[in-house]
């Protein structure tokens, strides 16, 4: 007797194929699915950063970013025929990220070297989010090169988001009363 499908799985991907927003199915390792996975991971890590944030403005800011990422995921998941129907990341979304970066930058110390992530839980999650966002950006550029995604503002959004993650990492360190530890500093003995 076959198992009754659950509302938590469809079993339609058991052969290694999955659907996009539109007609047809693609392999689970298709570039669009790789980009979606990276965007999904970025949102999950940003959720952890949101939950552990110490600076009072960070949780609401990250929630908005997570919502933007879900809209971007819909864009990336759309077939070329459906792309315009799902396009929502535009210049105003990029400008909003830039405004957040400019708003917090004057409060932060100047950083001219690599810093070691993880001085606090939230700053560590933001460092991880930055690296995952960078991977998502690379995957989106692959889609653009292949002609599978055409919204340059979506790619710009991810570029600015990775910068915002770094700014927020520094802001979280400051909120915790800590400064960045630089990669080339010797540990205190």
Assigned CATH class of 28-107+114-175 = mainly alpha
Sequence-separated (6 or more) residues with CB below 8 Å from residue 50: 58, 59, 62, 63, 66
Q: Residue 66: what pLDDT? A: 98
Q: Residue 137: what pLDDT? A: 98
pLDDT under 70: residue ranges of the chain: 1-5, 12, 185-189
Contact 42, 139 (CB under 8 A): no
Contact 66, 50 (CB under 8 A): yes
Q: How many angstroms separate the Cα of 24 from the Cα of each of 13, 118, 139? A: 13, 43, 21
Q: Which pTM was predicted? A: 0.89
- For residues 108 and 62, give the distance between their C-alpha atoms in angstroms, rounded to a whole number: 19
Q: Residue 3: what pLDDT? A: 64
Q: How many CA atoms lie within 13 A of 97 on its CB side?
A: 26
Q: Residue 186: what pLDDT? A: 66
């Amino acid at each position: 007797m076959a198992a009754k499908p659950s509302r938590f799985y469809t079993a339609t991907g058991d052969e290694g194929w999955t659907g996009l927003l539109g007609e047809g199915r693609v392999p689970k390792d298709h570039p669009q699915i790789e980009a979606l996975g990276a965007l999904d991971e970025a949102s999950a890590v940003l959720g952890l950063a949101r939950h552990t944030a110490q600076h009072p403005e960070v949780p609401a800011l990250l929630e908005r970013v997570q919502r933007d990422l879900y809209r971007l995921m819909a864009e990336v998941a759309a077939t070329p025929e459906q792309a315009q129907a799902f396009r929502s990341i535009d210049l105003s979304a990029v400008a909003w990220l830039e405004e957040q970066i400019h708003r917090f930058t004057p409060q932060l110390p100047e950083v001219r070297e690599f810093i070691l992530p993880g001085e606090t839980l939230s700053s560590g999650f933001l460092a991880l989010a930055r690296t995952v966002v960078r991977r998502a950006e690379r995957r989106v550029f692959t889609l653009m090169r292949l002609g599978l995604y055409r919204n340059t503002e979506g790619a710009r959004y991810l570029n600015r988001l990775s910068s915002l993650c770094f700014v927020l990492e520094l802001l979280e360190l400051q909120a915790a009363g800590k400064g960045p530890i630089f990669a080339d500093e010797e540990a205190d003995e």
